[in-house]
Amino acid sequence: MRVITRKQAVFTLNFVAGWVDAVGFLALVGSVQAFPSFMSGNSTKVVTDLVSGQLALAGLVAGVVVTFILGTVVARLINNGGRWRETAALFIVASTLWLATAGVLMGWDDYMLLILLAFAMGMINRALQGRNGFTVHTFVSGAVVAIGSDIADALSGRGKWRQVLLPLTIWGAILAGAITGGILTVEKGLFVALVVPSLAVSCLVLINGANWLEDPSKAQDGHTNAIETHG
């Protein structure tokens, strides 16, 4: 029995990615001025901190970048496209988000929470196999460029207007998550704002584990996606 399609699951994770980045920026950016998943911004921040002589701060931000990469590596090693491997990767993402949520209650340092979120966001990029170019992203630059390119192709007759829908949906999911997560963070605080994405990924773990998600054998690996420019 199938409850949701793979595209719906990927949309959910893109929504979560935007949500967590907004939450991290609003609630945790003050300590080290870094994002949980916006690695282009973090990489630029490392350089600007170095040239301005803030070596300690540069090291902290670099730690976030390295942790994000580590999360991607772990997810890629675990998830070989099989359902149980995929479920295991999603389980680690959910567990890491729950750990960060619990850390808020226990008064953990903001930087530790940021590290946990960065690891989860690194993993989320490769935790679920995409399909037909629709894959999980914690970055939007590639999607935005693809929107412009597809619009140009449609205007010139080289492509069809429906091609714009794919990158537009990816960008829209991330943007919607960021808006919703940002509002909840401001209104209800960090703990409540982290409970929601933790629950969302946990539901996907249960759905995939129960074989209620579209077969991963029909999925397309994220590495073949045309939208690969990291933002």
Position 224 confidence tier, pLDDT thresholds 50, 70, 90: very low
Q: What CATH number is associated with residue 144?
A: 1.20.1250
Task: Give how many domains the chain has, as a whole number.
Answer: 1
What residues contact residue 156 under an 8 Å CB cut-off, 6+ apart?
none
pLDDT of residue 226 exceeding 50, the answer is no
Q: Is residue 172 part of a domain?
A: yes
Q: Which domain holds residue 69?
A: 6-217
Per-residue pLDDT reduced to its tens digit, 17-33: 999 999 998 888 666 77
Q: Is residue 179 part of a domain?
A: yes
- Global confidence as pTM: 0.88
Q: Is residue 230 part of a domain?
A: no
SS3 content of the chain, % helix, strand, coil (to 5): 75, 5, 25
